[in-house]
Amino acid sequence: MQALRVLNQPCCAPGAPPLRKEEGESLALRFKALADPARLAIVNHLAGREEACVCEFRLDLSQPTVSHHLRVLREAGVIEVARRRGTWTYYRLIPEVMEQLAFALGGARAPRGVLATAERTVA
């Protein structure tokens, strides 16, 4: 049996209900991770790709700095390691997280799962 995620209404759309503390902290961590130009460039590079090698990121930054940005995005749950091949690491966006972030801002359809509202639950 597959468990369905229960999602609340968008946090930042007009008329949105107050966020629970845990939800706010989780969203803030992810948005904070995206609030850096280098990390946003990494996410932009990964968008629309199944995966990308770390060697493909052209950010004009040192390797340790790129590694730092990748670690921040991984810890925030925005990206994950897709695979390793020799010394190269391939990353991918976590699509569900990107859907949740867009939904939280009220700019996208509801993420896949269950949307729980005060009036009803939609599968």
Residue range 20-61, pLDDT digits in tens: 888 888 888 999 999 999 999 999 999 988 999 988 888 999
What does pTM read for this prediction? 0.73
- How many C-alpha atoms does 26 have within 13 Å on its Cβ side? 13
2 pLDDT higher than 80? no
Per-residue pLDDT band at 3 (split at 50, 70, 90): low
Beta strands 114-116 and 6-7, pairing class: parallel
Q: Rounded to an integer, what distance in angstroms lies between the CA atom of residue 18 and that of residue 104?
A: 12
